[in-house]
Amino acid sequence: MAQTREDLQRRFPANRQKRVMNRSRILRSALDGSLSLLRWVEPLVRGNPPRAAEQLARARCVLFLQYEAALGSNVHATPVYEAFKIAVPDSTIIVACGTRGFEVLKHNPFVDRLVQTPDPCKQLFSAIRFLRRYLHGNQLVPEAIVTNLGNVRRSEALLALAACRAIRAGYTLAPGLYHFTLQRDRSLSLIANNLRLIGMMGHTYSQVEPRVAFSETDLLKAEQWFRQIETGPDAPRAVYITQTSPTQRKSWPADRFVAVADYAAAKHGAIAVFIGASQEAAAIESIRGRIRGETVSLAGQTTIAELAALLASSDLAISLDTGNMHIARSMNLPTIVLAPAWDPGVEWLPWGRDQFRIFKGEDIPFAPEDYQILEVQAAEVMAAMDDLLARYPPSAAARRLRVERGLSSVRMQTRRPTGSLTA
């Protein structure tokens, strides 16, 4: 585990910190040197792969690695595949991923081949064997292997090295193993940084929004949920995302969520649908129990694809800055975002998009232990709700447009490889 300066200050007296930091630098240098040596040995085993920029631009079969654990990171990786397919329509896009990546991408129409492997950070050699067998068994010969900003770890660089003879490009902590590298631009969002990969590969691109696709089966399940709870065909469907990881310090007071939900029901006749993970169900119930209008909780009952279908079929979301908010964004759903003041916001938030209203206090340098988003008042959120519902009136037609964006004919069964993931 990486040690931060703050960790060291807590664990070691001042006279030991310098020695620990020096040892850490020496170990990193030794590791980087070993990885660079692998790069020099590679031509002796495989021969030299093409390394010119024009050869990277000619690559048509490209393997992307996507092993992020966070839902938001996986969602924010999706624009690259759409942008690359637009730039190179005759390309074959292969994505090797982990469990979360597979769930996000399993219906993605811009990914031609999707393979879930063991996690290279935990089972590097198993991941290498599995991916090599998959590529060989399907007669796939990637000309380039690309890693985005969420896949910079040395284990992913080693997977890229061992997978096949190809140009390696992208963001990485092991630049000695790559032929082309990028450095993160901290003035840009995660999506914008990831899209820079397309330019590095020699193609023009424009801004592309995230897209989480779902199947007809997922859509039917979402419609079934709404049929069970709806009070009328014109009742606005408001989705509430009230929970996030306790370690993130991004919460908003429960009484303010209650006030907003009561207001939405009284003024707009909106039904309140709560979503979240199964471990968040109790906290959600503590909020639901105080709301006077029609409510339902689907915490722990949805897959990622079903959640995307549910959000596409809704009219509005009120959300903390957390993973499920990014799925709402991918559906173009009008959303009120409650963001913490300690997070600069440039990396994750959908600034500049009319269907989003982002509430964030003035920047503070760090998150106090007892931090809540107290600087955002319920009245502000109510006013934003009125504005969004006026600009984007709830209607079957508006829902249909969002559904058309997310609905895909790609079936999961065509994506998951056969065989054990620990092979």
Residue 269 has pLDDT above 60, yes or no: yes
Answer yes or no: do 308 and 220 share one domain: yes
Q: Tell me the pLDDT of the chain averaged across its residues.
A: 89
Answer yes or no: do 308 and 168 share one domain: no
> Residue 420 falls within a domain, yes or no?
no
Structural domain boundaries enclosing 197: 28-211
What pLDDT was estimated at residue 41?
Answer: 57
* Mean pLDDT, residues 128-147 taken together: 96
> Residue 267 falls within a domain, yes or no?
yes
pLDDT band at 79 (very low <50, low <70, confident <90, very high): very high
pLDDT band at 1 (very low <50, low <70, confident <90, very high): very low
What pLDDT was estimated at residue 20?
Answer: 42
* Mean pLDDT, residues 241-248 taken together: 85
Please tell me the pTM assigned to this model: 0.87
What is the count of structural domains for the chain?
A: 2
Answer yes or no: do 200 and 227 share one domain: no
> Residue 294 falls within a domain, yes or no?
yes
Do residues 245 and 277 lie in contact, with contact meaning Cβ atoms separated by under 8 Å? no
Answer yes or no: do 116 and 201 share one domain: yes
Domain final position from 171, 193, 211: 211
Residue 27 has pLDDT above 80, yes or no: no
Maximum C-alpha span of the chain: 73
What pLDDT was estimated at residue 34?
Answer: 61
Answer yes or no: do 374 and 259 share one domain: yes
Answer yes or no: do 158 and 238 share one domain: no
Answer yes or no: do 333 and 397 share one domain: yes
> Residue 243 falls within a domain, yes or no?
yes
Answer yes or no: do 221 and 131 share one domain: no
Domain final position from 211, 231, 264: 211
> Residue 20 falls within a domain, yes or no?
no
> Residue 370 falls within a domain, yes or no?
yes
Strand partners, 241: 319
> Residue 103 falls within a domain, yes or no?
yes
Answer yes or no: do 247 and 185 share one domain: no
CATH number of the domain enclosing 302: 3.40.50.2000
* Mean pLDDT, residues 291-316 taken together: 95
Answer yes or no: do 227 and 296 share one domain: yes
